[in-house]
Amino acid sequence: MTKSITLSKVVLAGAGPGDPDLITVKAFRYLTTADVLVVDRLVDHSLLNYAKLGVKIFFVGKEGGNPNSFTQENINQLLVSEAKSGKLVLRLKGGDVSFFSNIFSELETLVENHIPYEIIPGVTSASGAAACAGIPLTARNYSNSVRFLSYTHPETIDEQQMNELARTEDTLVFFMAAKNVRQLVGSLVAQDITSDKWIAVIEEATTPNQRVTVLPISSFTETTRDIKFRSPAMIIIGKVSQLHHRFHWVTNEDKDSSFFPSIDQTILKTKVA
């Protein structure tokens, strides 16, 4: 469905999982016409080269343990103030806006302030990671269902829930789990997860720094003892993860630096010629 681009609204759009070529055509169209960009940390900055001259670019990334992280409340108020000044605002998020992106909070704020908005889906980090790791999330004789979960706060999954996750035949995809992946594996092993389940850790998926680690879940903790997994990383657990060894097509890049820069104190830039 084609709609004309109007002023004085907020467009919430997914930029994709990292590779700038994975942004959608519609999101890219808004990128080139917006007056204001409000950009997450996990957005490739090369995309910003296509923004128009004079655009205001606000960097509002969040990063665990970084005091320069933007608060969600500050982001909400920024969207309101810029839209009320008559600007076309593009809120550009990593992945897809509907997956663990705080879109609910931003939508509530926009509705409360009577600000028009549009939502543009993007390629989620889960599908980007799975594709670039050669792992079908569902596959005949392996899994016919998939679940998407967050593991930022392990305490939100109780023992009963963990037991059910250990026993399901569904593919489990965990967002924001790099820091706690060994705790996650330990909890599943403690609940007697079956030996035919494998785990894939896909770090910085779809970027030049992508690194994939795939192992039987039973040997994961011991084998990866000396590995420090970089964030962002997608965790895929299930029988399908072993298919990586048959279908992988991207070579691992063992780089020390992160593709996505750490947050600094730079909040606002204006694009000039």
How many Cα atoms occupy the beta-carbon half-sphere of 153 within 13 Å?
Answer: 3
Q: Which amino acid is at 69?
A: S
Residue 40 known to be catalytic: yes
Contact 109, 80 (CB under 8 A): yes
Q: Which of 40, 87, 93, 197 is catalytic?
A: 40
What CA–CA distance (Å, rounded) separates 103 from 164? 28
Contact 12, 108 (CB under 8 A): no
Paired strand residues for 173: 148, 236
Residue 26 known to be catalytic: no
Place of tokens 């269902």: 145
What CA–CA distance (Å, rounded) separates 49 from 220? 41
- Which pair of structure tokens corresponds to residue 21? 């070529």
Q: Which of 9, 19, 56, 62 is catalytic?
A: 62
- Which pair of structure tokens corresponds to residue 252? 């691992």
Q: Give the residue numbers annotated as catalytic, written as ranges.
A: 40, 62
